[in-house]
């Protein structure tokens, strides 16, 4: 049992070691906090006009709880701060796909999979090791980005509100529950796709399936067509949990020595 855990850690450590040497992935991953946690909030926080009237922001009333106690400037800030939440779901949806595509298809392409499968390590441990190596950095970057975003937004708006506007319950649920579930979904969707792919970029296309619904969520919220609340995010998380269970089962079935060596393209 101790060895089982050890094998997973050995695989994860090697994967992370390789990941740190992949300039393309590192650059892309480093750009997420820079764009979503610094650049975008700075742009909107510095460009909101001060001379807004209630009439200018009336269409946002239904999306901002407690709007009647806020100034128009506060209402716009609050709305835009909340609107950025889908970006923090986008990160754990995108990053694991990038990492695990390299990990799965790259290994297949480089001919390292068979020597790895020839070791006494169980295929399940290999899969779990690779999963952790994709999920941990993605989730950590999402959390770090959220931390930076929270600090930046609160520092820049504390004078306006008199209290920190984030984190709120919906943010905490999204970042700490929904994001890891999305990361797991992303990894196992990549495993399923990678079994049929021989090109890393092609296997990364699976991210589109995950990104599109999140972007739809973002656009719908930005245009005021939906309002995400804690309950709806919890519902989304429950749905993701079900999908994760199904994907993990299918991925585990697919990631067996026999399957990999005889059926993977």
Partner 1 sequence: MLTFIYIVNADLFVVMVIRTSSLARRFGNFVAVDDITISVGKGEVFGFLGPNGAGKTTTVRMLACLIRPTSGSATVCGLDIGDRESASLIRKKVGILTESPGFYDNLTATKNLRFFTDLYHINRETAEEAIRRYLRMFNLYDRKDHPVGGFSRGMRQKLALIRCLLHEPEVLFMDEPTSGLDPGSARVVREAILDLKKNGRTIFLCTHNLDEAERLSDKVAIINHHLLYSGTPAALKDTIYGQELVVRLEKLNPEIYNAVSSMSVVQAVERSGDRMILRIHNPELHSPDVIDAIVRAGGRIRSVGELGHSMEDVYLKLTGDD
Q: Is the Cβ–Cβ distance between 180 and 135 less than 8 Å?
A: yes
Asked if residue 253 binds partner 1 (CB under 8 A), the reply is: no
Which of 69, 65, 67, 73 has its CA nearest to residue 44?
73
Q: Which of 6, 34, 140, 155 binds partner 1 (CB under 8 A)?
A: 6
Asked if residue 244 binds partner 1 (CB under 8 A), the reply is: no
Asked if residue 118 binds partner 1 (CB under 8 A), the reply is: yes
Which residue, 7 or 244, has its beta carbon nearer to partner 1?
7
Q: Is the Cβ–Cβ distance between 61 and 45 less than 8 Å?
A: no
Least gap, CB of 8 to partner 1 (angstroms): 11
- Mark residues 16-55: x for contact with partner 1 by CB under 8 A, - for none: -xx--xx---------------------------------
Segment near partner 1 (CB under 8 A), from 6-14, 69-77, 176-184, 209-217? Answer: 6-14
Q: Is the Cβ–Cβ distance between 181 and 142 less than 8 Å?
A: no
Q: Which of 49, 115, 162, 265 binds partner 1 (CB under 8 A)?
A: 115
Segment near partner 1 (CB under 8 A), from 11-19, 53-61, 136-144, 227-235? Answer: 11-19
Q: Which of 58, 112, 198, 205 binds partner 1 (CB under 8 A)?
A: 112
What is the rounded distance in angstroms from the CA atom of residue 183 to the CA atom of residue 140? 11
Least gap, CB of 150 to partner 1 (angstroms): 34
Residue indicated by tokens 């001060």: 50
Q: Is the Cβ–Cβ distance between 35 and 155 less than 8 Å?
A: no
Least gap, CB of 134 to partner 1 (angstroms): 16
Range list of H helices, the chain? 2-20, 23-32, 40-47, 72-83, 87-101, 107-110, 113-117, 123-161, 169-173, 179-194, 200-204, 206-222, 230-254, 257-262
Least gap, CB of 211 to partner 1 (angstroms): 27
b/e per residue 53-85 (b: at least 16 CB within 10 A)? eeeebeebeebbeebeebebbbbbbbbbbbbbb
Asked if residue 216 binds partner 1 (CB under 8 A), the reply is: no
Q: How many residues bind partner 1 (CB under 8 A)?
A: 26
Query: In Å, how far are 67, 81, 86, 167 from 61, measured between CA atoms?
Result: 6, 15, 20, 20
Token pair, residue 178, equals 């929904």
Q: Which of 47, 51, 69, 110 binds partner 1 (CB under 8 A)?
A: 110
Asked if residue 113 binds partner 1 (CB under 8 A), the reply is: yes
Asked if residue 199 binds partner 1 (CB under 8 A), the reply is: no
Binding site for partner 1 (CB under 8 A): 3, 6-7, 10, 14, 17-18, 21-22, 110-122, 257-258, 261-262
């Amino acid at each position: 049992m101790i060895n089982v855990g050890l094998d997973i850690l050995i695989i994860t450590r090697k994967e992370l070691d390789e990941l740190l040497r992949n300039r393309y992935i590192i650059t892309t991953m480093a750009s997420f906090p820079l764009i979503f946690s610094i650049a975008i909030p700075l742009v909107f926080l510095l460009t909101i006009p001060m001379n807004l009237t209630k009439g200018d922001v009336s269409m946002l009333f239904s999306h901002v709880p407690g709007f009647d106690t806020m100034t128009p400037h506060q209402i716009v800030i609050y709305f835009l701060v909340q609107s950025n939440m889908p970006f923090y779901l986008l990160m754990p949806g995108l990053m694991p796909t990038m990492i695990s595509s390299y990990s799965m298809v790259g290994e297949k392409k480089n001919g390292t999979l068979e020597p790895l499968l020839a070791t006494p390590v169980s295929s399940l441990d290999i899969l779990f090791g690779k999963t952790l190596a994709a999920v941990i950095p993605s989730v950590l970057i999402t959390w770090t980005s959220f931390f930076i975003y929270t600090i930046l937004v609160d520092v820049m708006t504390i004078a306006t509100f008199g209290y920190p506007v984030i984190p709120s319950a919906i943010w905490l649920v999204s970042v700490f529950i929904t994001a890891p579930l999305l990361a797991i979904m992303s990894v196992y969707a990549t495993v399923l796709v990678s079994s049929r792919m021989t090109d890393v970029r092609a296997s990364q296309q699976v991210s589109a399936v995950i990104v599109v619904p999140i972007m739809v969520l973002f656009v719908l919220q930005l245009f005021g067509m939906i309002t995400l609340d804690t309950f709806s995010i919890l519902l989304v998380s429950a749905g993701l949990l079900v999908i994760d269970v199904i994907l993990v089962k299918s991925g585990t079935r697919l990631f067996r020595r026999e399957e990999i060596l005889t059926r993977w393209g």
